[in-house]
Structure 1
């Protein structure tokens, strides 16, 4: 990656006397105190820079001792700008006899995916349509207005209150910086234990095929995991946002000093309380917003997990970018409702392959992604929405049964 406009910089780098390294040597530098990356055959020591990395130390550390070319390209819209910070970190390059990609990754597949990305750039699919997002923001304000209008016209009975809560639950949001910070960690190594925060279930659930067996053999039983597909309904959907995410979002905004996001959040609550205190009073408004978050959490969990929990969840396998994302994600059938209901996350495969692509362009690149998968015999999964919801519960039950079998096997 990084062809054309970066040629001058690359020529400047080549003027240095660079050491030559083998993959065997590079792969040794993958610890907390010693991190090397390979990008476009150049070797970089990012041990100290990792602490300053704008995307966080975890994302860059996930690729220590590996070829990070595809991830580097996926997460940085302006490669020319980022390379300016990389010059002091350059320590060498791959020896001439070494392949460009580590661990026997398929060169043809990687090259074809790079060509696909170039096609997407030529189609201007990474450019944001401000009209789309302006209309989307406007529709959120309309939903907030409809919530107020419902209570103004029908009063604060149970039915108007429930209807208003449903309306507001679809117009909620979170800190953009928090979302990017956490979500890029997920994108970097999706469904990989110890690297993807979204599969860190705090031992409340066991996921995939390997973790349940490991827990069972070690006689780990924090909860009766063979019933996790049932208690999921009591823990996952209702509590994720109002308890876990809400606390995490506020702490992240403060500790990372995301004052702009904090200001946006503050204006929302000022607007909210000014609107709903006249209807419910101060304490009633607090209970009402908790109820809204409770409903929103159900929507969020089902929409985000339908693409991931039923997929492969395992330890690090060091696959290429395309294969890794396809293992961890699936799409949901396209329809106007699915697009709106999921915020275009029904195109989860494209969302993962191109995390900086505006979501209104996913449907344009999707046929090309599928064609590439067909060429290389890769599984491009697309499911109906209700089947995807059902698969969440089914996969939890399967993992729970694997745990029980291993737990009882003496």
Structure 2
């Protein structure tokens, strides 16, 4: 089995060797797409997707551009309007062969309809979260309070999975409809902002596990997933917290993150950016909470709400953590190709009927990072071919059992939290 570093990463400004003209300029803020260098200096601030475009400056961004804009008809028109010059990116032979095979593989999947949405699947996913909310409420109504809260906690996590797919536009394939689904499901079901999530999560997809780029590594002061991140901590109090982070992560840290998002970070983003549709979802959600408090007592309602949010946050954040956080990092001044980011910095959890449901097909994390706009229920159908592609080119197709991956995640938390002791 090939080691993860089988393809050594290049230092910026480029991961490629350019055969014509000068490499893409970082001072001029150029990036390469389909053998043309585009000057995005003036475009960065008005890029609809936010600052994520800055992560591709100085690189061959062909695959990132294609995978992020599968559903956008406007993107190509905007791209053609930007100043550009011919510039062909050339790679060493084995990397060039990998990218050529990946491009052909992508064309095959498009021809086979693997990116096409399934209205039946979307209807099932929406019906599931509605039915689980009704079931949870019914259990509480009939006196089974803890069982009802457990049901609602799980469906809060299920709303997280569903909004995630809406944010990637892989539900209906219609950007406006998928955004509306995300706003409703995330706002009503989780009390959070889809717009904030899209902006942050796409940065993670562009450069997973890359220092100073991947927001999933920028998690202080509550948690640190890598020793380089933990090394920034100077406060003795924070060091003590990190020392206990493996124990605190599931029951405490995830709840603090969720509450911080619900109470402060996401409402602030909605107000600053004028996302009043999202604010209306919060008004409905907390209107229900207020009604319950008025009829069943504020203290009782608050305790039940905290338990409900705690269960949901443990479910969603622990399952997100297993896919990346314990894997190697990319240095801030290095660049990997799109395929290498997926191969070296994501891991799958072994498929089974229950794991596929429990993680809503995000146990196929490698496939999801290769093709973020593909409906996730199609990932099992392409996984064997992805594995064959990796094996052909000496890349590691990392699959771990669910509980093995979870154990790796918590062992990494413990190792990172105690790293400062080992370094003295």
TM-score between the two structures when normalised by the length of structure 2: 0.79
Point out the structure with max Rg over C-alpha.
1
Q: State the number of aligned residues.
A: 368
1:47 is matched with: 41
| CA distance in structure 2 between the partners assigned to 1:211 and 1:120 by the alignment | 38
| CA distance in structure 1 between the partners assigned to 2:391 and 2:94 by the alignment | 18
2:390 is matched with: 373
Aligned match for 1:82, one of 67, 75, 82: 75
2:120 is matched with: 131
Q: Give the direction of change, closer, same or farther, for the CA distance of 1:233–1:81 in structure 2 (3 Å limit).
A: closer
Aligned match for 1:207, one of 215, 225, 228: 225
Listed as ranges, the gaps of 5+ residues in structure 2 are 1-19, 160-185, 187-192
Q: Give the direction of change, closer, same or farther, for the CA distance of 1:75–1:243 in structure 2 (3 Å limit).
A: same
Map 1:12-31 → 2, pairs under 5 A: 21-23=21-23, 26-29=24-27
User: In 2, are the aligned partners of 1:226 and 1:404 still within 8 Å (CA)?
Assistant: no
Q: Give the direction of change, closer, same or farther, for the CA distance of 1:209–1:291 in structure 2 (3 Å limit).
A: closer
After TM superposition, give the deviation of residue 50 of structure 1 in Å.
1.2
| CA distance in structure 2 between the partners assigned to 1:104 and 1:247 by the alignment | 50
TM-score between the two structures when normalised by the length of structure 1: 0.82
User: In 2, are the aligned partners of 1:331 and 1:383 still within 8 Å (CA)?
Assistant: yes
| CA distance in structure 2 between the partners assigned to 1:209 and 1:51 by the alignment | 33
1:106 is matched with: 95
After TM superposition, give the deviation of residue 404 of structure 1 in Å.
2.4
Q: Give the direction of change, closer, same or farther, for the CA distance of 1:357–1:51 in structure 2 (3 Å limit).
A: same
Residue 130 (structure 2) pairs with residue 146 (structure 1): no
1:9 is matched with: none
Residue 409 (structure 2) pairs with residue 392 (structure 1): yes
Which has the larger displacement, 138-147 or 263-272? 263-272
| CA distance in structure 1 between the partners assigned to 2:196 and 2:59 by the alignment | 26
Q: What secondary structure sits across from 2:115 in the alignment?
A: coil
Q: Give the direction of change, closer, same or farther, for the CA distance of 1:21–1:356 in structure 2 (3 Å limit).
A: same
Residue 400 (structure 2) pairs with residue 383 (structure 1): yes
Listed as ranges, the gaps of 5+ residues in structure 1 are 1-19
| CA distance in structure 2 between the partners assigned to 1:284 and 1:401 by the alignment | 38
Aligned match for 2:283, one of 266, 270, 273: 266
After TM superposition, give the deviation of residue 366 of structure 1 in Å.
1.3
Q: In the TM superposition, what whole-angstrom CA distance separates every residue of 1:310-343 from its partner, at most 9, and x where no partner exists?
A: 1112423311111112222111111222122112
Q: Give the direction of change, closer, same or farther, for the CA distance of 1:220–1:373 in structure 2 (3 Å limit).
A: farther
Aligned match for 1:35, one of 29, 43, 46: 29
